[in-house]
């Protein structure tokens, strides 16, 4: 445990530019992950109701013409 | 002088003394009879004052406490039934297939009288129409161009950025064509009427076959119990099979009314889908942050909440330290 913690400390926190860039990259990654997950849940709740679920019917119909 | 006045005073004192004793003796002699007479008087007084109090409160409530209605129930209109709209739930978007059907109903039925002035063709794209469909629809109408070199304003086919044209040139033309009644713009109608979706659905499907007995319907008006005043210039327009849906949905009256109401709700609140999705994300993140803040508060206050306060009374200490040696013990 102590070895892991000191490893994390020496890897990410020791040098300030690494610490800062870890925070920034982590913030972006967290936001992207949260948005992707939340939108996936939202789309599964509203399956078949949104335009992207029914769009293919009308796009194909236009290709036939 | 002084003697005379003192004499008078003593006489007056004697008079009061005798009268006091006289009343006392009279009271003692007539005590039983006066008690029985006073009991029914007291009861009558108490009950009559209670009745007066209740009566005055009731009268005051009758005068000023009752709810006041400026209009009769007929003028208010029948309250719309509450329907369980799927798209009004917190986690549900509009059913965009229903929006497409509702727009078809608007275009084929409502648009002959009602404008939809706040909806441009571009907002149909990506909601219930493809780009090509919306472009084709826009090109069916003509719009004014910018003035050319001679200052003439010409006509051009519509573009996606154009707004859906109104059936009449202006409100006066609309009134003239509709017996003096102005068909309102439907862009924000769901927001603009009490009851919203329920009201419009009830209004569209609530026309009775004939007005009930005793109802006064002016000439040129139609009876609808949900319309305030019950006399509405719009006749019943939705009948079974009026439009033919391209997705094969049976076009019953209530189906068309439901679809067009959902479409009008979209036209009033086109941001609703994104708003709800953003809203539940905010609630999710906010509840996590709130839980963290509660934990941090408890963590920071833990020392303060669990410490023990001790009060050493200095006076008691002074008395306790009377015996030698204890003062310098520490």
Joined together, the tokens standing for residue B5 give: 């006045």
Instruction: Give B280's contacts in chain A (Cβ within 8 Å).
Output: 38, 42
- Residues sharing a CB contact under 8 Å with residue B315, sequence separation 6 or more, in sequence order: none
Residue of A nearest to B283 (CA): A38
Nearest by CB to B126, which of A46, A51, A53?
A51
d(CA B96, CA B111) in angstroms, rounded, equals: 20
Cβ pair B113, B167 in contact under 8 A: yes
Residue of B nearest to A52 (CA): B126
Joined together, the tokens standing for residue B104 give: 């078809």
3-state secondary structure of A46: coil
| Cα angle B103-B275-B184, degrees, rounded to a multiple of 5 | 40
Mutate to test the interface with B, among A40, A43, A49 (most CBs of B within 10 A): A49
Q: Is B234 annotated as belonging to a binding site?
A: yes
Say which residue the tokens 């609630």 belong to.
Answer: B283
Task: For chain B, give the mean pLDDT.
Answer: 87
Q: Do B91 and A45 touch (CB under 8 A)?
A: yes
Q: Is the pLDDT of residue A65 over 50?
A: no
DSSP B81: P
Query: Structural domains in chain A?
Result: 2-64 (1.20.5.260)
Q: Convert the pLDDT of each residue in A18-61 to its tens digit.
A: 999 999 999 999 999 999 999 999 999 999 999 999 999 888 76
Q: Convert the pLDDT of each residue in B20-47 to its tens digit.
A: 445 445 555 555 555 556 789 999 999 9
Instruction: Give B285's contacts in chain A (Cβ within 8 Å).
Output: 34
Q: Which of B78-82, B189-193, B320-324 has the lowest mean pLDDT?
A: B320-324
Q: Do A49 and B132 touch (CB under 8 A)?
A: no
Q: Is the pLDDT of residue B212 over 50?
A: yes
- Residues sharing a CB contact under 8 Å with residue B202, sequence separation 6 or more, in sequence order: B78, B80, B81, B195, B226
Q: Is the pLDDT of residue B258 over 60?
A: yes
- Residues sharing a CB contact under 8 Å with residue B21, sequence separation 6 or more, in sequence order: none
Joined together, the tokens standing for residue B12 give: 């007056």
Nearest by CB to A50, which of B93, B132, B281?
B93
Nearest by CB to A59, which of B91, B130, B281?
B130
Q: Please report the DSSP string for B147-212 in residue order.
A: P-TTS---EEE--TTSBPPPSSSSHHHHHHHTTTPPPPP-TTHHHHSTTHHHHHHHHHH---SSPP
d(CA B79, CA B228) in angstroms, rounded, equals: 10
Question: What is the pLDDT at residue A63?
Answer: 55
Nearest by CB to A58, which of B92, B130, B280?
B130
Kindly indicate the confidence band of residue B316, based on its pLDDT and cuts at 50, 70 and 90.
confident
Q: Is the dihedral of CA B212, B217, B221, B224 positive or negative?
A: negative
Q: Is the pLDDT of residue B234 over 50?
A: yes
Question: What is the pLDDT at residue B7?
Answer: 47
Joined together, the tokens standing for residue B129 give: 């129409």
Residue of B nearest to A50 (CA): B96
Cβ pair B240, B253 in contact under 8 A: yes
Kindly indicate the confidence band of residue B68, based on its pLDDT and cuts at 50, 70 and 90.
confident
H helix count then E strand count, chain A = 3, 0
Instruction: Give B100's contacts in chain A (Cβ within 8 Å).
Output: 54
Q: Do B281 and A34 touch (CB under 8 A)?
A: yes
Give percent above pLDDT 70 in chain B: 85
As a dihedral over the C-alpha atoms of residue B143, residue B115, residue B173, residue B237, rounded to 10 degrees, the angle is 130
ipTM of the predicted structure? 0.81
Residue B222, beta-bridge partner list: B232
Question: What is the pLDDT at residue B111?
Answer: 94
Alpha-carbon Rg of chain B, whole angstroms? Answer: 42
Q: Do B92 and A46 touch (CB under 8 A)?
A: yes
Question: What is the pLDDT at residue B313?
Answer: 82
């Amino acid at each position: 445990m102590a070895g892991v913690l000191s490893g994390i400390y020496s890897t990410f926190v020791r040098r300030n530019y690494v610490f800062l860039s870890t925070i920034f990259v982590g913030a972006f990654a967290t936001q992207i992950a949260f948005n992707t997950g939340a939108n996936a849940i939202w789309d599964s709740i509203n399956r078949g109701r949104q335009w992207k679920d029914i769009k293919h019917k009308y796009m194909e119909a236009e290709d036939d013409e | 002088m002084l003697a005379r006045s003192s004499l008078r005073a003593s006489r007056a004192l004697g008079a009061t003394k005798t009268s006091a004793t006289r009343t006392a003796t009279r009271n003692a002699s007539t005590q039983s009879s006066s008690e029985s007479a006073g009991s029914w008087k007291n009861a009558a007084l108490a009950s009559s004052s209670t009745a007066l109090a209740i009566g005055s409160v009731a009268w005051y409530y009758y005068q000023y406490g009752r709810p006041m209605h400026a209009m009769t129930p007929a003028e208010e209109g029948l309250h719309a039934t509450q329907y369980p709209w799927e798209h009004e739930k917190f986690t549900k978007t509009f059913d965009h297939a229903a929006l497409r059907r509702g727009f078809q109903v608007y275009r084929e039925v409502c648009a002959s009288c009602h404008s939809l002035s706040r909806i441009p063709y571009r907002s149909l794209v990506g909601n219930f129409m493809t780009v090509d469909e919306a472009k084709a629809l826009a090109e069916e109408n003509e719009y004014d161009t910018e003035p050319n070199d001679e200052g003439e304003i010409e006509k051009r086919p519509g573009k996606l950025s154009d707004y859906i044209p109104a059936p009449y040139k202006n409100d006066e033309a609309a009134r003239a064509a509709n017996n003096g009644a102005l068909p309102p713009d439907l862009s924000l109608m769901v927001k603009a009427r009490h009851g919203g979706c329920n009201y419009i659905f009830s209004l569209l499907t609530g026309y009775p076959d004939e007005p009930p007995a005793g109802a006064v319907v002016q000439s040129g008006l139609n009876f609808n119990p949900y319309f305030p005043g019950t006399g509405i210039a719009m006749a019943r327009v939705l009948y079974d099979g009026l439009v033919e849906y391209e997705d094969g949905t049976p076009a019953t009256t209530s189906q068309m009314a439901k679809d067009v109401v959902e479409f009008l709700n979209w036209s009033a609140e086109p941001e609703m889908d994104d708003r709800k999705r953003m809203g539940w994300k905010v609630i999710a993140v906010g509840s996590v942050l709130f839980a963290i803040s509660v934990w941090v508060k408890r963590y920071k206050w833990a020392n303060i909440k669990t410490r023990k306060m001790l009060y050493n009374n200095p006076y008691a200490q002074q008395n306790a330290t009377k015996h030698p040696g204890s003062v310098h013990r520490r």
